[in-house]
Structure 1
Amino acid sequence: MKSVIAEDLVKTYRNGAVRALDHLSLDVEEGTVLSVLGPNGAGKTTCVRILATLLRPDSGRAMVGGIDVIKHPEKVREVIGLSGQYAAVDEILTGWDNLVMFGQLYHLGKKASVARAEELLERFSLTESAKRPIKTYSGGMRRRLDLAASLIVKPKVLFLDEPTTGLDPRGRQEMWSVIEELVKGGVTLLLTTQYLEEADQLADEIAVIDHGKVIARGTSDVLKKQVGGERLEIVVETQHIAKTVEVVSTVSGHKAIVDEGLRMISAPVSTGATALIETLRSLDIAGIHPLDVSLKRPSLDDVFLSLTGHAAEEKKEEVETKGRRKKAKK
């Protein structure tokens, strides 16, 4: 059963001049994690805002938990949780106060709100800091509290929009553990991210979007296979670089790439271990003894660059839009 369905979503700005979503379609199977991967400005946040009833599409259809997002937004809000890119908690209040306040906003009642707040504070390892103002929290603690707030009503579907933005490696690992625990508990999750290792770690499937449309979808392994086979990398002494390039190019059938600084020669290979053994045999005959040898599978970085042709960077129009907003505020 599909917990989230989006069909042909279109969203434009500036009288149609900027197309944030361009007939975007995706779905999420119940109890699984779909990671939406893309650069800044690709349409990830716009997609989440529409599914979370915060934004209306120009056209298209969206269903969450079997409920039409456009026709019955109030019913959708009863079954979802949302954690945006930036913590939406009140810095002046304590962690405990924030969660109790969210509970009451959801009409849980004072007693039920307190009970749920204390349950979530313990679950997210925030009990000791519960009575401290949020402004004294670390970035990781704020993100955990923000995620806790999105779980007040025990949602069936959870939208996380770049949940680990700004966190250090330790904080990111802690957040991943929390997310994995939620999924084990049966929550359906749509996760947007720019971190390729995050998608690799958490997602059952990955949808790569660029310029407002899905350009590839599949498991991590399936997407990696689209780039090709493995990559052979060999480090040798400087005087052996030329001969090693010749050997690697012959074995792989591709022109080898040389990193002069690292003294590393690399090339894609389709036969994996067989190519590695053949290369080492040829180098041994030539009297060359590598300093290091490795056979690497494609990473999601390779997949992303192969599919989009560029690194994760903000679109020009998004930057211009932000600039206009700042000027308007002034």
Structure 2
Amino acid sequence: MVIEVRDLRMRYGTVDVLRGVDFTARRGEVVALLGPNGAGKTTTIEILEGFRAPSAGHVRVLGVEPVHGDEAWRARLGVVLQSWRDHGRWKVRELLHHLGRYYQPYGTPERSRPMDTDELIKTVGLAEHADKKIARLSGGQRRRLDVAIGIVGKPDLLFLDEPTAGFDPHARRDFHDLVHRLADLEGMTILLTTHDLAEAEKLADRILVLAGGRIIADGSPDQLGRQVAGQSEVRWTSGGQRHVHPTEDATRFVRELLAGDDGVTELEVRRSTLEDTYMALVQRFESGQGEEVAAL
């Protein structure tokens, strides 16, 4: 396992921020960590990155306890924060080449050297801007540079924090393609935090929902959707009246509806989105009905 977390706990004074977090992540897996503000997402990520020591629990990242990770271990991690304090006078190619030199001593058998600078620039879609000063890049281009900085050392594990904040639709689509390539072709494990649930649904192999300091759901978007009763809504008109019916099996319901009523018009099936599922899971937990982890 690239990430292995069991019974992770974190206490600040008398406040328990994490109350027994359990999850794993495999090589090449894209995992999204979702949760309301104050759920403990940032604390969890900081512990995994080795920037904060947990109060209790078993945590292993790339086989190492993060707080004891050395420089060779850190070189196997990539971190893309929401913002990066860059130097506007640097040119894109110069900066990436300079940063890549820091990874030379820490190569692993599978990743013996940092990414070739030109290959990296092409990978993140900055080929036309390679010799442009950073200060002249657009917001989306600067975000691509953030990603390039995060993967310059060919990390085994990449942390992405709100990765597409400020992206236009085209840049967002290109970035999603990049994430899939990194996971599928490079075998990179990616852990992302985002408030964009549609993005999490597109990118993640698995989604973890953190609430109240615990993982309350763990599964693929489809698996999580099946946990919420009435996940689909069928709407239709018959006899001049509009009807709405929630159902767990929309295909079967529509088949039976059409077989029994030949006057159906304006038929529409609205399937539950990840946002619907997420809100239902969190509300269920907050009402005291979802204390047990829904692992699939």
- With structure 2 as the length reference, what TM-score do the two structures score? 0.82
1:1-330 to 2 correspondences below 5 Å: 2-13=1-12, 15-17=13-15, 19-106=16-103, 116-184=116-184, 185-236=186-237, 240-241=240-241, 244=242, 265-280=243-258, 284=262, 289-290=264-265, 292-309=266-283
Task: Indicate conservation of the 8 Å contact 2:51/2:67, yes or no.
Answer: no
CA drift at 1:34: 1.5
1:248 counterpart residue number: none
Task: Indicate conservation of the 8 Å contact 1:176/1:202, yes or no.
Answer: yes
Task: Indicate conservation of the 8 Å contact 1:96/1:117, yes or no.
Answer: yes
Q: Cα 1:58–1:101, aligned 2, differ >3 Å: closer, same or farther?
A: farther
Helix, strand or coil at the partner of 2:116: helix
Task: Indicate conservation of the 8 Å contact 1:48/1:161, yes or no.
Answer: no
How many Å separate the matches in 2 of 1:274 and 1:122? 47
Helix, strand or coil at the partner of 2:167: coil
CA drift at 1:233: 3.1
Unmatched segments (≥5 aa) in structure 1 = 245-264, 311-330
RMSD: 2.8
Moved more, 72-81 or 30-39: 72-81
Unmatched segments (≥5 aa) in structure 2 = 107-111, 285-296
How many Å separate the matches in 1 of 2:276 and 2:259? 29
CA drift at 1:276: 2.0
Q: Cα 1:211–1:95, aligned 2, differ >3 Å: closer, same or farther?
A: farther
Q: Deviations over 1:205-228 (max 9, x none)?
A: 111112322001112211110013
Helix, strand or coil at the partner of 1:153: coil
How many Å separate the matches in 1 of 2:158 and 2:27? 11
CA drift at 1:289: 5.0
Q: Deviations over 1:252-299 (max 9, x none)?
A: xxxxxxxxxxxxx42212443332244446654xxx653x21223322
How many Å separate the matches in 1 of 2:255 and 2:247? 12
- Structure with higher Rg: it is 1
Amino acid of the residue matched to residue 204 of structure 1? D
Percent identity over the alignment? 32
CA drift at 1:16: 3.5
Amino acid of the residue matched to residue 72 of structure 1? G
Q: Cα 1:87–1:167, aligned 2, differ >3 Å: closer, same or farther?
A: farther
Q: Deviations over 1:177-228 (max 9, x none)?
A: 1111101121112122222222222222111112322001112211110013
How many Å separate the matches in 1 of 2:31 and 2:182? 14
How many Å separate the matches in 2 of 1:72 and 1:32? 22
Q: Cα 1:42–1:90, aligned 2, differ >3 Å: closer, same or farther?
A: farther
Matched positions, count:
278
User: Higher helix share goes to which structure?
Assistant: 1
Task: Indicate conservation of the 8 Å contact 2:236/2:264, yes or no.
Answer: no
Q: Cα 1:47–1:297, aligned 2, differ >3 Å: closer, same or farther?
A: same
Amino acid of the residue matched to residue 86 of structure 1? S
